[in-house]
Amino acid sequence: MTNSVNLTLSEAYQLAYRALHSNGFSTKHADAVAKNVTAGERDGCHSHGLYRVLGCVRSLHAGKVMADAEPTFTDSAPAILRVDAQGAFSLVAYQAALPAFITKVRHCGIAALAINHCVHFSALWAEIEPLTEQGLVALACTPSHAWVTPAGGSQPLFGTNPIAFGWPRQGQAPFVFDMATSAAARGEIELHRLANKPLPEGWGIDSHGKPSTDAASVLQGAMLTFGGHKGSALAAMVELIAGPLIGDMTSKESLAYDQSTGSSPYGGELIIAMDPERFLGAEKEEHFARAEGLFNDMAEQGSRIPGERRFKARQHSEQFGVTLPLTLYKEIVAMCQ
């Protein structure tokens, strides 16, 4: 008996959509979330793929996410747009804000979008790619729950606090990286726990502050930042600029709000985009050619350009579909009423 199930991308989307919609999410929110998790699965980002449907439904049943909220907007300044997700997942709010945000970026050359009062579970590259498709350079970050200890600490304080960056490239996939400031994404540790696999050393500590490779004990203890104090400093930066700066929660506050329900993080997200046309004018092509020289130099040394593996996985999935563990597939099917 096989331990996995192969699905086309359409079948994966329909499975996620049915589970979300039948549990109470509106058509708009179920569609946005289903598309997002299907994209994660398609790109080989299993920690942000259909596995996330379980947490989305759990958050709804716990009363920690709104199923049908409509976002509202505040035009704060010529180069600042704020969108209030009204307690829903960030995806619909981002999609609604995107046209006005891009207009601000084109007008000012650089602009910031703050998404407030949102529940966030998704990979940040999904917010970056629509901007690189418009020829824009972009940066995004968000806190999460307090799962990560600062360098030298022993108690959770920071979130996994991902940072994503995108650079458009002519005629080929953009340069996009999306990384947690923790040593690994929380979802990766969850997947190791589900598969009963040991963690690599340096990913986390147990509840007594001792290094551990047991996923369950790390989930009860704390995750570690990547690069020691360097990752810790970046995590603190994300807490500040995507928390207090935009009037939203820190990871510690998000976890307290969760009240031990195991729901997705609640708070804010900051996205900054820049228009190369406004920065460089007629010199844009010249300087973007220099950027291509940098990428070529990376490739000549055998360095993998961030995002390449994800785009290769995308091409494969579009042709052959995606493969889910049978246990996960059955869990999602069971949610479909």
CB distance 161 to 267 below 8 Å: no
- Alpha-carbon distance of 109 to 222, in angstroms, equals 40
Task: Write the DSSP symbol of residue 150.
Answer: P
100 close to 74: Cβ distance less than 8 angstroms: no
Contacts of 1 (CB under 8 A, 6+ apart): none
**Residue 143 contacts residue 265 (beta carbons within 8 Å):** yes
**Tokens 């945000």 belong to which residue?**
101
Burial class of 110 by CB neighbour count within 10 A (0 to 12, 13 to 18, 19+): middle
What 3-state class would DSSP assign to 87?
coil
Both tokens of residue 121? 């579970």
C-beta atoms surrounding 189 within 10 Å: 23
Of how many residues is the chain composed? 337
Q: How far apart are CA 153 and CA 124, in angstroms?
A: 27
Beta bridge partners of 112: 80, 272
Number of Cβ atoms within 10 Å of the Cβ of 46: 20
Catalytic residues: 47-48, 188
